[in-house]
Amino acid sequence: MNISSPRKVPEKLLLGPGPTPVEQRVLQALAQPTLGHLDKNFVAIMDETRELLRYVFQTKNELTIAMPGTGSAGMETACVNMIERGDKVIICEHGVFGTRMHDVAERCGAEVVSVTAPMGKPIDPEDVRRAIKANPDAVLVGIVHAETSTGVLQPLDEIASYAHDAGMYMLVDAVTSLGGMEVPVDRLGLDMVYSGSQKCLACPPGLAPVTVSPRATERIKNRKTKVQSWYLDLTMIMRYWGQERFYHHTAPVNMIYALNEALRIIAEEGLENRFARHRRNAEALWAGLEAMGLKLLVDYEYRLPSLTSIVVPEGVDEAMVRRQLMEEYNIEIGAGLGELKGKIIRVGLMGSGSNKKNIELFLVALGNVLR
Ligand code: PLP
């Protein structure tokens, strides 16, 4: 075994569902000296990171932090803190991640009422309204904003207003939307929203930004039972990220540097510009794919700018397409998940990966592979 030189990892063009390309600036931030996690210089970085997270979440929520772990840790944080054993919850499932949320909620001891939509379609707000009416004792409605397994961008306005009118909380998965499109936390009063660092935030995987409304924070503080997960218990973690700096766990120091830098890049570009860039590039990709005669899974109105699902044409071996793209062009894209395995391929244009050059490279490569 040769361990005498530092390992060199090959560079690849990440155009899949995530992780997505990470800019040098962020990688350099990751390589800065590790500080003590209660060091005043690190605490200042944590504070700035919270401010920047509030900016991307478009919120003033005091409880806005980055949890250690990937997007699924965000989902677990949301569920373990908001749900007490025996609570009834309404979970919307229109893809693999909604189904994962159902599973996590059930593991928290919830009685789950599910509202479903076919793969590639959004949840119909009327179905949620009916579920709320039939289950007025439910405590929350959980939903995925950007369903990465299908490429659907779920409209939230109506569903949020139905949930709030009934006194329920809105729990939202913004893993593939945060930093690439509007996640209107304060405008819609979303109560518990989580994301992942490795998608439109364009940071390596490892952190799960979370924001909690004042009303949901009160619910968590006033729980009858302890949060079932010690590690993800926000009642303790809020004291670590707050003024008190009460030790809970050792913050993943260098990952916070990386997230901080990725968020600074977003603030420099400006949210509106960033949203417009994601939209513009997605439109260009869709036009290019349709010009090649390919069909997209999701209707135009509900297409996610950060992730496009292409229907695999008759007689094409999608695994071979992905393999060839990787071996001959060094491009990674994603396979279909769950019911859509073998039926679609998924292309991500997220963060700095959402640019014209990548679209051109991908369209040429895909055209050659399909020829
Ligand atoms: N939710 C959505 C919408 C996702 O796309 C993903 C991952 O792709 C997750 C949750 C889980 O995130 P992770 O794989 O980072 O744990």
Distance from first CA to last CA of the chain, Å, rounded?
42
Instruction: Evaluate if residue 189 carries a pLDDT over 90.
Output: yes
Distance 175 CA to ligand 1 centre (A): 6
CA distance linking residue 87 with residue 47, whole number of Å: 34
Per residue in 301-312, pLDDT tens? 999 999 999 999
Q: Is 189 in the pocket of ligand 1 (CB under 6 A)?
A: no
The string over 131-141, giving b where at least 16 C-beta atoms fall within 10 Å of a residue's C-beta and e elsewhere, is bbeebeebbbb
Tokens coding 133: 């009416």
Q: Decide if the complex's ipTM is over 0.90.
A: yes
Output the CA angle 265-270-273, nearest 5 degrees: 115
Count of C-beta atoms within a 10 Å radius of residue 223: 14
Instruction: Evaluate if residue 33 carries a pLDDT over 80.
Output: yes
Mean pLDDT rounded to a whole number for the chain: 97
Q: What is the dihedral of CA 58, 60, 63, 68, to 10 degrees?
A: 30
Which residue type sits at 185? V
Percent of the chain residues past pLDDT 90, beyond the cut: 96
Distance 199 CA to ligand 1 centre (A): 9
pTM check: above 0.95: yes
Tokens coding 84: 């007490």
CA distance linking residue 4 with residue 10, whole number of Å: 18
CA 43 to mean position of chain CA atoms: 25
Instruction: Evaluate if residue 50 carries a pLDDT over 90.
Output: yes
Q: Is 18 in the pocket of ligand 1 (CB under 6 A)?
A: yes
Distance 351 CA to ligand 1 centre (A): 16
For residue 262, what pLDDT is reported? 98
Output the CA angle 363-364-370, nearest 5 degrees: 85
**Pairing, β 13-14 against β 331-332:** parallel
Per DSSP, the residues of 176-214 read TTBTTB---HHHHT--EEE--TTSTT-S-S-EEEEEE-H
Report the side by side order of strands in the sheet with 334-335: 307-311, 344-348, 334-335
Instruction: Evaluate if residue 3 carries a pLDDT over 80.
Output: no
Q: Is 57 in the pocket of ligand 1 (CB under 6 A)?
A: no
3-state SS of 21-80 is: CCCHHHHHHHCCCCCCCCCHHHHHHHHHHHHHHHHHHCCCCCEEEEEECCHHHHHHHHHH
DSSP letter assigned to residue 304: B
Tokens coding 61: 């929520």
> Which of 83, 81, 86, 108 has the alpha carbon at shortest distance from 233?
81
> Which of 307, 308, 78, 68 has the alpha carbon at shortest distance from 197?
68
Q: Is 362 in the pocket of ligand 1 (CB under 6 A)?
A: no
Q: What is the mean pLDDT of residues 87-92?
A: 98
CA distance linking residue 279 with residue 283, whole number of Å: 6
In sign, the C-alpha dihedral spanning 23, 28, 31, 32 is negative
Q: Is 194 in the pocket of ligand 1 (CB under 6 A)?
A: no
Output the CA angle 100-102-103, nearest 5 degrees: 65
The half-sphere exposure of 337 on its side-chain side, counting CA atoms within 13 A, is 19
Q: Whose CA is nearest to atom 12 of ligand 1?
A: 71
Select from 103, 147, 148, 177 the residue to mutate for testing ligand 1; criterion: most ligand atoms less than 8 Å from CB: 148
Select from 97, 200, 207 the residue to mutate for testing ligand 1; criterion: most ligand atoms less than 8 Å from CB: 97
Instruction: Evaluate if residue 4 carries a pLDDT over 80.
Output: no
Q: What is the mean pLDDT of residues 143-148?
A: 98
Q: Residue 244: pLDDT band by 50, 70, 90 thresholds?
A: confident
Output the CA angle 307-103-135, nearest 5 degrees: 100
Residue ranges of the binding site for substrate = 346
> Which of 58, 96, 48, 59 has the alpha carbon at shortest distance from 75?
96
Select from 102, 123, 172, 175 the residue to mutate for testing ligand 1; criterion: most ligand atoms less than 8 Å from CB: 175
Q: Residue 61: pLDDT band by 50, 70, 90 thresholds?
A: very high
DSSP H or E segment with residue 219: helix 214-221
Report CA-CA distances (Å) from 371 to 239, 313, 321.
58, 12, 11
